[in-house]
Structure 1
Amino acid sequence: MLDLKKPANQQIAMEAFFFGYQAFTAKADEMLAKRGFSRVHQRIVFFIARYPDLSVKELLTVLGVSKQALNAPLRQLIAMNLVHSAAPRE
């Protein structure tokens, strides 16, 4: 096992993590791109599916993005009937 207290080993571990993550996400990114989507679309759909009554404000908080960053992909998903927007229940 690497001694992660040594800077050289920290760099090796970070590099391994980077390439592992890149390999892990490459196919998903390719599939999303074929459909005109990006990771932000995937994250939106994931959290809406997980929490169906999530408000836009809550979605912004969960994703950690601005309204401007969320607007275009969310509108695209709504236009494609992949998600829907509803008034909050009272």
Structure 2
Amino acid sequence: MHSQPSNEDRPWTPVKATGTALKGADAGIVIMPGDALAAYTAVAPGTARLTSSRPLCATGPGKISCQGIQEWTVTVRVTRP
């Protein structure tokens, strides 16, 4: 049986936002170590891109090493804040 590594073994980087359409906000919840969570408020018309990435393989002693990266991107278009 093969189990997937947890987010603690392959942590997501903090979510990054580009553009000026969004402003960071308090999500109001506690996240588990390694999870990618962010909250934003629309503050101006425009486009923003949210991104995060993590190692494809778990890291640490006794773990298989690889150079792969898993990532996601979300594009947000704000028409009216």
Q: Tell me the TM-score normalised to structure 1 length.
A: 0.21
Structure possessing the higher radius of gyration over alpha carbons:
1
| Higher strand content, 1 or 2 | 2
| Higher helix content, 1 or 2 | 1
- The structure with higher relative contact order (CA 8 Å, sep 6+) is 2
